[in-house]
């Protein structure tokens, strides 16, 4: 289960109407060129617009205007289930999370269950609010449990990766999307994840050298050319490849390839 829609556009490219498999929160359309202080769609909603793919995100930091990628900044929890067993068909499960959690902190995130005989990856529909002294969070799943889960089974709980996008320099977090506009902290926006895109180069412009077609993400979300000497000591996250004919020089117009 999840959310995905392809808007209908008229002959001039303007939005005609849209259909969404899961109703929007407000019924309001939000353009990829607009941010909103109000959440209009579920986090992680997938938007297919012409030849580009976007996911609905919440910003945990403010962007610049340089078309740099942003990364997921939310930590999950490696915990155990409550001291009760869960049967096949159950859609609610309690995990022993000792942090304070707002309601739906784990909405559209993932639950990995791993025991001696249990291996399941399930998508989380919603989660209840919890105080630190509760020592537990109730998760509501999109799909029912398929294998019985013994009491106190180890789990990994991960929030939706688009629920807290930050724009800082870090080598420990993966880039999730590229916003088309400057975004304000705590605002909601569509982050591009696939298709023709434009970026800021770290130093050397991609495509300048013969055979230099792949591009990578620098730790600040800028683009690294495939010939950058940094690639000799570390393998950064791949961003995509240069689209343009670069016979006369490099270009930052590239095919973004994070999430289709």
For residue range 126-171, list pLDDT tens digits in order. 999 999 888 899 999 999 999 999 999 999 999 999 999 999 998 8
Q: Which of 121, 125, 126, 114 is CA-nearest to residue 152?
A: 114
pLDDT of amino acid 4:
56
User: Given pLDDT bands bounded at 50, 70 and 90, which one contains residue 9?
Assistant: low
Residue pLDDT, tens place only, 32-75: 999 999 999 889 988 888 899 999 999 999 998 889 999 999 88
**Cβ–Cβ < 8 Å for 110, 158:** yes
Domains of the chain as residue ranges with CATH = 4-72+164-195 (no CATH), 77-158 (2.40.10)
C-alpha span between 240 and 213 (Å, rounded)? 9
């Amino acid at each position: 289960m999840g959310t995905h829609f392809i808007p209908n556009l008229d002959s001039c490219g303007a939005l005609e109407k849209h259909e969404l498999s899961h109703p929007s929160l407000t019924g309001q359309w939000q353009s990829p060129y607009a941010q909103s202080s109000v959440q209009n769609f579920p986090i992680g909603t997938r938007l297919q617009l012409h030849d580009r793919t976007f996911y609905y995100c919440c910003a945990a930091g403010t962007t610049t205007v340089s078309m740099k990628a942003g990364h997921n900044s939310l930590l999950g929890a490696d915990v155990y289930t409550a001291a009760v067993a869960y049967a096949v068909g159950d859609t609610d499960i309690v995990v022993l999370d000792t942090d304070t959690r707002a309601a739906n902190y784990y909405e559209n995130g993932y639950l990995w269950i791993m025991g001696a005989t249990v291996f399941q990856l399930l998508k989380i529909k919603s989660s209840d609010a919890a105080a630190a002294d509760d020592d537990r969070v109730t998760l509501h799943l999109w799909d029912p449990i398929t294998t019985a889960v013994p009491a106190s089974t180890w789990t990994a709980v991960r929030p939706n990766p688009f629920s807290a996008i930050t724009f800082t320099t870090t080598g420990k977090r993966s880039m999730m999307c590229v916003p088309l506009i400057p975004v304000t902290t705590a605002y909601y926006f569509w982050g591009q994840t696939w298709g023709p895109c434009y970026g800021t180069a770290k130093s050397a412009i991609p495509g300048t050298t013969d055979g230099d077609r792949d591009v990578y993400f620098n730790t600040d979300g800028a683009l690294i050319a495939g010939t950058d000497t940094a690639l000799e000591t570390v393998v950064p996250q791949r961003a995509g490849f240069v689209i343009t004919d670069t016979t006369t020089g490099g270009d930052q117009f590239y095919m973004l390839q994070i999430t289709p």
